[in-house]
Chains A and B, each alone.
Chain A
C-alpha cells in the first residue's frame, strides 16, 4: 500500500515537472511567434518545421556559450541566484490539481502531487520567497545596475503580493476552504469563480503580471535605464535559468488563474461525460480543458506584453498601493455583506 502511493506520487511529480519544463520551453517559441504575428512578421522559422525546434536550438546555444563570471566576492550567492529562481518557479506545481482522478489498476489515482490543507497559503508562501532568487543574484553580481534591477523587482513583487493576498481572501470567504482540490470540485459545471468574483479575478490577474515581472510591469529589466536588469552579469545557462524561470512562472501563474477562477479541469457536461464515457476518458478531457485554459492565459500574457507599453515606476507603485489594495478591501467588504445578507436582513428587521 505504502510503496504504491510513493510510486504513484513520484510518477505524477515527474510528469508534472516534465510538462512544466516543456511548456516553459515552448512558451519561448510561442512568445516569439506571437510577437511576430502582432508585428506582422514571420518569426523564427529556420530550425525544424515552422521553427518547432527553435527552443532546442536556443538551449544548445545557451549551453555552449562561454560562462563569464564577474569579479565578485560572493561567488556562491552568484551561483545560488538562478538556482533559487528556478526552484521556486517549480515548487508551486506541487499543490495544483491537474485533474479529478483516474481509475487505473483497480484504484483511484488522484491527479495531484499533494493535497495539503493549506494549499492556497502554500502558493502565497512560495510566491513570497520567489523574490530571493532575483535579489541574491542581483546583489551578488557586484554591479550597480543589477542591484537597482533586483531592488526594483523585489519591491514591486512585495507591493503586489499584498493586493494579491487580499484579493484571494475574498475568494476564500466564498469557497470556505484553502484546499485547491476542493476549490476545483466546487466549480464543477459552469460554477466558475470568475462569475462570482470578477473584481477579485481582475486584481489577481494584474498582480500575477506584476509577480512574474512581465510587461507592463517589467521595470526590473528596463533596457533603456538598467541594461539587462538583475541578470546583466549572467551568461550562458545561468542566464538561461533566469529566463526559463520567468517562463515557468508564467505557466504556473496561468495554471493558478485557471484553477482558482476558471474552473480548473471542469468543463460543462463533465458529470455527464463521467457517466457515459467512463471516468478515465472524462478526466483526460478535463486535463485537456485545463491546458486549453492555461494556454489561453499564456497567450493573454504575450498579447499584453506586445501591446501595452511599460509603466513608469511611480505609476506602478501608485497602482499597487493606492488603487488595487483599497479595491480589494472593498471587494472583501462586499463579499462579506453578500455572504451574511440573510442575517443582515433579519437584523434590520426586513
Chain B
C-alpha cells in the first residue's frame, strides 16, 4: 500500500468514526467536539487532493468560526441529560421511513448516473496556487461568484435585522 492510501484510510476512518460519534454521544458538547475533529479530517482529505486553499479555508470557516459559536451557545445553555425530550413513537417511525426513502433515492441516483471517468490532462499549471484559483474564479466564473457574495451579504444583513428587532420590541 502506498503512503497516500494509508493516510487516506486513516483519515476516512477518523471522519466516519467521529461523524457517528457526533450523532451518538449523549453530551452535546462532546458531540460538537467530535464534529470539530470530523471537520479537521475533512480538511485532511482536501489536502490529499492537493487543494491547500480549500483545506485552510475549511478550517478557518468551520472549525474556527462556526463550531466555536456552536460550542458557545451549548456551553451557555448548559444542556443536561435530564433536559432531553423523548420523542413520541410516531416521530421516530417517520424519521426511519424518510431516512430509508432518501437512501433509496440516493442509491438509485448513483446507480443511474454514469460518472464520466476520463483522464485529466495536465497543462503544467499549478492548481495549488491561489493566483490560478483566483484568476479562474474572477475571470471565468465571475457572475456566479458575484451572486454567491450577494447571497452572503443578504444573509448577513438579514441576521443583523433579525437580532435587532427583538431589542426594539423591549
For B29, what are the chain A residues with a Cβ–Cβ distance below 8 Å? 139
**Looking at chain B, what size class is its interface with the partner chain?**
20 to 34
State the 4 A-B residue pairs at the shortest beta-carbon distance, nearest first. Answer: A128-B64, A121-B56, A125-B59, A125-B60
- Shortest C-beta distance, A286 to chain B (Å), equals 27
Q: Which of the segments A46-54, A63-71, A150-158, A241-249 contacts the partner chain?
A: A150-158
Check A163 for interface membership: any CB of B closer than 8 A.
Answer: no
Number of residue pairs spanning A and B whose beta carbons lie under 8 angstroms apart = 57
Chain A contacts with B in 131-167, Cβ cutoff 8 A: 131-132, 135-136, 139, 147, 150-151, 154-155, 158, 161
Q: Which of the segments B14-22, B68-76, B98-106, B139-147 contacts the partner chain?
A: B68-76
The chain A residue with its CB closest to the CB of B129 is: A117
Contact indicator B75/A131 (Cβ below 8 Å): no
For B53, what are the chain A residues with a Cβ–Cβ distance below 8 Å? 117-118, 121
Of A117, A121, A132, A155, which one neighbours B36 at CB under 8 angstroms?
A132
Majority-rule SS of A interface residues: helix
Check B33 for interface membership: any CB of A closer than 8 A.
Answer: yes
- CA separation between A291 and B40, bound complex, in Å? 33
Check B154 for interface membership: any CB of A closer than 8 A.
Answer: no
For A129, what are the chain B residues with a Cβ–Cβ distance below 8 Å? 59, 63-64
Contact indicator B52/A118 (Cβ below 8 Å): yes
Residues of chain B at the chain A interface (Cβ within 8 Å): 29, 33, 36, 52-53, 56-57, 59-60, 63-65, 68-69, 71-72, 75-76, 128-130
Number of interface residues of A (CB under 8 A): 24
Contact indicator B68/A151 (Cβ below 8 Å): no
Contact indicator B56/A118 (Cβ below 8 Å): yes
- CA separation between A139 and B33, bound complex, in Å? 12
Contact indicator A135/B60 (Cβ below 8 Å): no
- CA separation between A136 and B67, bound complex, in Å? 12
Contact indicator B129/A125 (Cβ below 8 Å): no
Contact indicator B65/A158 (Cβ below 8 Å): yes
